[in-house]
Amino acid sequence: GNSVTQMEGPVTLSEEAFLTINCTYTATGYPSLFWYVQYPGEGLQLLLKATKADDKGSNKGFEATYRKETTSFHLEKGSVQVSDSAVYFCALRPGGGSEKLVFGKGTKLTVNP
């Protein structure tokens, strides 16, 4: 079946620290991979995506690389800001034309000044 496992939170960092949130997946076929972000009191927004092996998604200083050999899609940012405080969800869309999204449990990030 399809599943996503991401690191448990919460994660607390100081401003300008380096961020890594680990995400691994299990999927049949060739999934697309996503990171969504949820700011307090809001819905989810797409942060970045990758559709095939070795693709790198990037946005707002965040990056993640689709690693088929390790079935991973780890989220990284070199220097976090207080405004990055949010919950981050790793997700996959199975191949074969499915529109369904399978989400990880989410990782809450708090960045302190």
Partner 1 sequence: NAGVTQTPKFQVLKTGQSMTLQCAQDMNHEYMSWYRQDPGMGLRLIHYSVGAGITDQGEVPNGYNVSRSTTEDFPLRLLSAAPSQTSVYFCASSLPDRLEAFFGQGTRLTVV
* Binding footprint of partner 1 on the chain (CB under 8 A): 4, 32, 34, 36, 41-46, 49, 51, 89, 93, 97, 99-106
Report the nearest approach of partner 1 to the CB of residue 50 (Å): 10
Nearer CB in complex with partner 1: 16/64? 64
> Residue 32 Cβ, how far from partner 1 at the closest point, in Å?
6
Phi and psi (nearest 5°) for 57?
-95, 145
Handedness of CA 81, 38, 88, 77 (dihedral sign): negative
**Residue 42 vs 69, nearer CB to partner 1:** 42
Q: Tell which residue, 20, 21, 23, has the closest CA to residue 73.
A: 23
- Residue with Cβ nearer partner 1 (36 or 77): 36
Nearest-approach distance from CB 87 to partner 1, in angstroms? 9
In angstroms, the first-to-last Cα distance of the chain is 41
Q: Which is nearer to partner 1, 91 or 111 (CB)?
A: 91
Q: How far is the CB of 76 from partner 1 (least distance, A)?
A: 21
> Hey, what are 97's tokens?
């034309």
Q: Dihedral, CA atoms, 32, 105, 65, 54, nearest 10 degrees? A: -40
